[in-house]
A and B are shown apart, each in its own frame.
Chain A
């Protein structure tokens, strides 16, 4: 074997290893974006799976218990609602009537256990317009983990 072939083979092995790493990484980490309606439609088949759920925090649904740090609220896309629970304090930019994305698992009891809450923030201030923004549009304007993965 010439050096060139050897080198080429070495490179191929490295590339294959990289490909495998990337493939495995995607399989492991893929998080589906989903709306409350889509999640409800999935029903039991969505149990114990991880998702990225986006919607509007339903006014009047937000409750926070400082002692236990239990935060509960409901997210809606205008049609369906999903109850969400999170342990930790609400992020600064998080409040009723605004958009939020949560990451976590949908447990059997119809409860979404969020490990991460991403609150909406944009460079310019816009007054909240409840119900106007489409849940899908929210994904585009959102961001940074205010709560760190646990």
Chain B
């Protein structure tokens, strides 16, 4: 029953999406409002059917309907309700369903929100979004159908991969990442609509910028949460391993970040039009490429999902996107002449250009390193991987220069910066940067890169804080408002600027967290007898006992360790190993004690069956919490940047917005 209904709703949604594509295009060409309205209707219908399909699947999962293959594979009677609900995205078919639903939701929002403002372009936007939907609906309706039935149904299912039912983060990391991926469909749809209609003027880029920030925000949170999940679940003490799937999520983030910067140049100076369109197309293609990498199994990864036949389909889809998009770009290149010109090399424009070059260089290195085994095998017939040393050697220096640019970019004037303005803006941050270097060197930081990282982080943080302080003080003097009111009004007056600066502050926190947790990392692995202690840093970790018990879906062996700092008892920690019936080997579950200063990370590596001894791995990683905090600050900045502006809603005039957008000291 569920199987039939589900298959039917997906097939119907596919048909409606294709219908919507055709009527939207026809409607736009023939200027027929009824056809266009019908295309809009298709968006509503696809959203309705996608919602229905996803609810059906959830009903089957929660109802433990093992006659569905997906439920039989990813659900089980012993799996707790929470992990049963989120099992939807623990395997290929279900996550495509989630993807479809998020895309349908975004398409609906676009039609509802942008319906009035971009009347000319909207039919094409609708058509593009529905085409992308149609591709994923095709996958779900045919090769990766989540509603495939099995007969006879098994008595119990296998349950999700233990790694995917070990931490509540699984509930938000994949949906956030998907929203980040899917979100880029919207800017892409607008870019293509602009190319198709030839309406390449300023208005669409303003709309796109907002949607890009939404997608970028979700992608940022998704990437950071991915690191957090890896840290909390995979039990190796790290949060980023340059794994192909991690890289796949970083690639669109890098190109998307590049776009968010040069789009400002286009808005202000009417330059870089082709470049921006190319960046949107690339970013969107990379989101699809990311899904392809995750799902095709061509590269080994921690996310090595079951290999499936959909790989070639993804490659074909990416090929079509690139061909059609860049084809239109070339076709319309006459209408994309820059109206402005670069005035000086010392200007915000050129800082942004440099930032773009480096972000793309970063992305290229990540792309190359990720695909290197495939490339070397294709070119030279030998499989060679490059791994962490490569990514660190290339991306750390690029990253450092990017932080420098991040610090100066927002404060340097458009067009041409005078020496006087540079001096006034950067003297204090520069002094603070030297101070920061001194302090970190005093604290024991050695080596060029770590010292530079702390110096640049201080510099960047100082520029941002100085900007907020100066703005607030000036506003307070002019208006007589209190400090907090002045700060909030300042931010509200140019949200995008101050939102961006908040994002930069978040990046600084991430940089500090990553550098400190890498440079000052300590670890030790020792086999302890009961009552024995291990010493690491300022901690003593005593092995107290080993306990074991049976839970409905797993058997748990847990070590109890008491942590002391000198004579003070700090806490009791309980890392464990969990034996799932569906797996032959245990899954480790780490225990982490997080403080703003440092994380203490305990891994139960091994134990004797009699419980007398256990092998324990202990890691101390300073400032790891700052990374997650930095992610939250970045998300906050994105939120500030897109928060609906009362004045703009009232005025709804692009000109107004440009007035509100006041660059720093220019």
A residues with CB within 8 A of B: 3-4, 6-7, 10-11, 14-15, 18, 21-22, 24-26, 28-33, 52, 64, 66-67, 69, 88-90, 92-95, 103, 121-125, 128, 139-149
Contacts and interface: CB of A to CB of B under 8 A. Distances in A.
A93 B241 CA distance: 18
9 contacts: A15-B357, A21-B397, A30-B386, A69-B525, A93-B585, A124-B73, A125-B584, A143-B300, A144-B243
A25 B588 CA distance: 34
Given A141-B297, A146-B236, 4 more contacts: A21-B398, A33-B373, A69-B615, A125-B158
A124 B160 CA distance: 9
Given A25-B390, A66-B606, A148 B238 contact: yes
B306 A90 contact: no
Contacts of A122: 304, 306
Q: Sorted from nearest, which 7 A-B pairs have the closest CB atoms?
A: A89-B605, A29-B390, A29-B389, A33-B383, A144-B302, A25-B393, A66-B527
Interface stretch (B1-9, B342-350, B466-474): B342-350
Given A24-B393, A89-B525, A123-B91, A14 B361 contact: yes
B305 interface: yes
A7 B302 contact: no
Interface string B110-147: 00000000000000000000000000000000000000
A52 B300 contact: no
A18 B398 contact: yes
Given A7-B353, A89-B605, A95-B585, A144 B389 contact: no
Interface string B599-641: 0000001101000010101000000000000000000000000
B345 A3 contact: yes
Contacts of A121: 163, 302, 304
Contacts, number: 156
A120 to B, nearest CB: 9
A80 to B, nearest CB: 18
Contacts of A139: 300, 373, 383
A14 B373 contact: no
B325 to A, nearest CB: 24
Contact of A33 (B302, B385, B605, B606): B385
A31 B393 contact: no
B197 interface: no
B587 interface: yes
A56 to B, nearest CB: 15
Contacts of B198: none
Interface in B481-537: 523, 525-527
Contacts of A128: 584
Nearest to A136: B383
Contacts of B358: 14, 18
Contacts of B397: 21
A30 B376 CA distance: 10
A94 B420 CA distance: 63
Given A33-B384, A140-B300, A28 B583 contact: no
B664 interface: no
A142 B243 CA distance: 11
B81 interface: no
Q: How large is the interface on B (under 10, 10 to 19, 20 to 34, 35 or more residues)?
A: 35 or more
B143 to A, nearest CB: 17
A7 B346 CA distance: 11
B199 to A, nearest CB: 29
Contacts of A28: 389-390, 393
Contacts of B585: 92-95
Contacts of A123: 91, 161, 304-306
B384 A25 contact: no
Interface of B: 73, 91, 158, 161, 163, 234-238, 241, 243, 297-302, 304-306, 342-345, 350, 353-354, 357-358, 361, 364-365, 368-369, 372-373, 382-391, 393-394, 397-398, 523, 525-527, 577, 582-588, 605-606, 608, 613, 615, 617
A124 B306 contact: yes
For A88, A146, A148, the residue with the greatest tally of chain B CB atoms inside 10 Å of its CB is: A148
A24 B365 CA distance: 12
B328 to A, nearest CB: 26
A144 B240 CA distance: 10
A71 B405 CA distance: 47
A140 B299 CA distance: 6
Contacts of B299: 140
A143 B385 CA distance: 13
A126 to B, nearest CB: 10
A21 B386 CA distance: 13
A18 B361 contact: yes
Contacts of A103: 387
B385 A31 contact: yes
A32 B384 contact: yes
Contact of A140 (B238, B243, B297): B297
B521 to A, nearest CB: 9
A117 B358 CA distance: 34
B605 A7 contact: no
Nearest to B244: A143
Nearest to B299: A140
A11 B275 CA distance: 15
A142 B410 CA distance: 44
For B299, B525, B585, the residue with the greatest tally of chain A CB atoms inside 10 Å of its CB is: B585
Contacts of A145: 236, 238, 241
A143 B301 contact: yes
B305 to A, nearest CB: 5
B573 to A, nearest CB: 18
A76 B297 CA distance: 24
A93 B361 CA distance: 36
A103 B384 CA distance: 12
A66 B615 contact: yes
Given A7-B345, A141-B300, A144-B234, A69 B587 contact: no
Contacts of B235: 92, 146
B295 to A, nearest CB: 11
B33 to A, nearest CB: 47
Contacts of A29: 386-390, 393
A119 to B, nearest CB: 8
Contacts of B584: 95, 125, 128
Contact of A26 (B344, B373, B390): B390
Contact of B342 (A4, A66, A125, A147): A4
Nearest to A150: B523
Nearest to B521: A148
Contacts of B350: 7
Contacts of B161: 123-124
A127 B337 CA distance: 61
Contacts of B525: 69, 88-89
A6 B343 CA distance: 12
